[in-house]
Structure 1
Amino acid sequence: MTTHQISIIGTGLIGSSIGLGLTAAGWDVVGWDVDPDRLHAAADRGALRPAARSKALAGPLIVLAAPVSAIIDMLAELRTDGLVTDVAGVKQSVANAAAHLPRFVGGHPMAGRESSGPDGASGALFTGAAWVVTPDGASSEDVATVDSMARALGARPVHMSAAEHDTAVAAISHLPQLLAAALIEIAVDTPAALDLAAGSFRDLTRVAQSEASGVAQVVHANAGALRPIVEQLRGRLGSLAGLLDDSPGMQSALENAGLVRRSIAPPVVAVAVVLADQPGELAKVGRALGSSAVDIRDLQLRHGRHGGGGVLTLSVRPGEADVLSSALRAEGLQLAD
């Protein structure tokens, strides 16, 4: 490919975000969606130029950004000499459906949001995220093209086979979806549990807000890899249940899990600030962040279910907590103990 031309089929959250990011990077982006309103919404956002389906599917680089079942259906009908890639959260079934194409490279950006549609799209959605690329027999030139697209979006290409991808995401993406649903059901059935739910429960169940139809399609398509992972979870929960009367054993298991979790997170120090239920509190925090010039690595707002202020926890690099704390106090804010 001598020019950066791309066609995006499907203009939901992911497709529109790809369009926004590549348009900003100077690529020529056209797109099509089965829903005309969604297509025009993406165009109004500046993500792409609308095109007829036949024209979009005739492009030199085609990204299929629809739900997984729709991608598989499109692949079964698609005939093109162009390079085709996709963004589906399951790869083996998609690769099987694309086996007849002369040029196909599977892809899966490991980024997203609980919202859907072009209104929630962002050209920065993929910045710093892994973008799985499954070469599986593709030419090195075509793999390099998909790699360059991912890098243009700020993502980090990661190569693995379709089978390796499906096993990995079953454990770190699809299983958490099922676990979040189960935790919600247990909390609903437990009197007063939801009234007491705080940060840890919200963190564990955040993905339950994902679009249910898309999640259901992905876990169904990846059932072969997901089912043994679910059985592994049953066994691990059974092992932990066996430690309920063994405090030292439980402590050891939890410490081991903590060590692994800390190894995949950057070192941070948390600063918690109390926010009163009144206008201007977040503006004070913003001024403190600006004057302190610290590097925010994460933040979380804990508040009552029905409002009434809350506690904002800001995670910064080690060594920056004191300067941030001083800046927050200078704005008249109270720090939580």
Structure 2
Amino acid sequence: MSTRSAALIGTGLIGASMGLALRTAGWTVSGWDPDPAALATAVAGGALDSAASSAEHAIEGAELVVLAGPPRAVIQTLADLETEALVIDVAGVKEPICRAGAHLAHFVGTHPMAGREQSGPGAASGSLFRGASWVIVDDTVAAEDVVAVEELVTSFGANPVRMTAAEHDLAVAIVSHLPQVLAATLLGEAERHDEALPLASGSFRDLTRVALSDPVMWTELLGENRGAVVSELRSFSARLDSIADDVEAEISVEAFLSRSRDLRRTLAPPVMAVRVILEDQPGELAAVGRALAESSVDVRDLQLRHGPQGGGGVLTLSVRPGEAEALRAALTTEGFTLAE
């Protein structure tokens, strides 16, 4: 049986993670990136079998082409691309990209709802897509191509979700693009008050985590999806004004807060917290590192709360829901006691 071949154009966080996932699934992956350092890091990290000298060289002979650059770069690549291979992209906006790829025989717009605040191939993980929703744009696309992409992303452990390009762009404006702007706005507001940031704790950190993401990439995403983003920003602003009016008039907001709590409970937890007790002795963090390597989990966050006298404490590791049990087992094997 011949090895399947894929071309990866763009080796940032998502692209390099795609390369790792493809190679794990049995594909041979050739890649190219306009940044030689990013390309070298992707090769060194095992995301590619080989580095190509150009995008054209990478694509030559490939059965699958993955465009993993920012939206404008993807649009430019699509404008000049001629291939009979199956082509997908992984950018966070779909309408302009699907228009740009409409001339290809086998183009499917996609978007994995996965990522992390770190950027670049050095932060890539082959497990990044496990348990994540992966949008597959199914309007004006051949049914067999949609099925082929669904099978591909399922092999990565992701959950395929069919949507139109317009449905996707409105949805991500609400659940991805708006939160990015809100995180930056919250930090900007806190910066205005000298006494605020020193008091920031877990809830503020959780709400603003995405502000660590690449500002260049996000400027482009917001611009390419500006219609939906501006509409949702104005709608959200009106909601805030209404809440401010109620608080000012001493009208209870209990029903509003109760409804939001009920809605939040319907969501699967984005992460599972695994708490491990650390003793005040050498080698504890090294043993945690061995457990992380053995379980191959994707750590989304970690926090260390020191003991009363500063030694030892409780380390909280936040991982994807499907990975918590593997991490608990590895930590137990290393001799740790887990906190409830």
Letter in 1 for 2:262: L
Check the 8 A contact 1:114/1:207 in 2, yes or no: yes
In structure 2, the partner of 1:57 is 59
Aligned twin of 1:293: none
Which residue in 2 is equivalent to 1:196? 199
Separation in structure 1 between the aligned mates of residue 209 and residue 13 of structure 2, nearest angstrom: 18
Instruction: Report SS of the residue matched to 1:8.
Output: strand
**Corresponding position: 1:104 with 2:73:** no
| 1:121 matches 2:124 | yes
Question: Quick one: which amino acid aligns to residue 230 of structure 1?
Answer: L
- Residue equivalent to 2:325: none
Q: Which residue of 2 aligns with 1:223?
A: 226
Give the Cα separation in 2 of the matches to 1:97 and 1:250. 46
SS of the equivalent of 1:137 reads: coil
Amino acid aligned to 1:28: T
Instruction: Report if aligned partners of 1:131, 1:150 keep a CA contact under 8 Å in 2.
Output: yes
**Aligned-pair Cα RMSD in Å:** 3.5
* Residue of structure 1 equivalent to 2:147: 144
For residue 286 of structure 1, report the CA deviation from its aligned partner: 9.2
Partner SS state of residue 246, structure 2: coil
Deviations 1:230-276 (A, max 9, x none): 01111111121122156672111111100000110359998977868
* SS, match of residue 249 in structure 1: coil
- SS state of the match for residue 205, structure 2? helix
Partner of 1:28: 28
CA distance in structure 2 between the partners assigned to 1:50 and 1:246 by the alignment: 63
Take 2:158 and 2:338, find their aligned partners in 1: how far apart are those partners? 38
Give the Cα–Cα distance (whole angstroms) in 1 for the partners of residues 143 and 134 of structure 2. Answer: 17
Q: Alignment length, in residue pairs?
A: 317
Give the fraction of aligned pairs with identical amino acids, expressed as a percent: 49
Higher mean displacement: 238-247 or 183-192: 238-247
Indicate if the aligned counterparts of 1:105 and 1:136 stay in contact, CA closer than 8 A: no
* Structure 1 segments (4+ residues) deviating >4 Å: 245-248, 266-289, 297-300, 308-317, 331-336
Please say if residues 4 and 28 of structure 1, whose CA atoms lie closer than 8 Å, have aligned partners that are also in contact.
Answer: yes
Deviation readout 1:102-150 (Å, 9 max, x if unpaired): 2210000111111112111111110111111002211111111211221
Measured in 2, the distance between the counterparts of 1:81 and 1:288 equals 45
Q: What secondary structure sits across from 1:159 in the alignment?
A: strand
* Cα distance per residue 1:189-246 (max 9 Å; x no partner): 0121010000011001000000110011101100011111001111111121122156
Distance 1:268 1:101 in 2: 38
TM-score, normalised to structure 1, is 0.82
Please point out which of 69, 76, 101 is paired with 1:73.
76
Cα offset, 1:298, TM superposition: 8.8
Cα deviation code 1:14-73 (max 9, x no counterpart): 111111111112112111111222212211222112224223223221100011111111
CA distance in 2, matches of 1:170, 1:268: 22
**1:198·1:302 contact (CA, 8 Å) conserved in 2?**
no
Ranges in structure 2 where 5+ consecutive residues have no aligned partner: 293-298, 322-327
Match of 1:130 among 125, 130, 133: 133
- 2:56 counterpart letter in structure 1: S
Partner of 1:264: 267
Amino acid at match of 2:57: K
Q: Which moved more, 1:240-249 or 1:220-229?
A: 240-249
- Indicate the SS of the match to 1:184: helix
Report the alpha carbon displacement of residue 3 of structure 1 after superposing the two structures with TM: 5.4
Match among 230, 238, 242 for residue 239 of structure 1: 242
1:5 and 1:298 map into 2 onto residues whose CA distance is 31
Match of 2:15 in 1: 15
Q: Provide the C-alpha distance between the structure 1 equivalents of 2:278 and 2:173, rounded to a whole number of angstroms.
A: 39
Residue pairs, 1:134-213, within 5 angstroms? 134-213=137-216
Letter aligned with residue 159 of structure 1: R
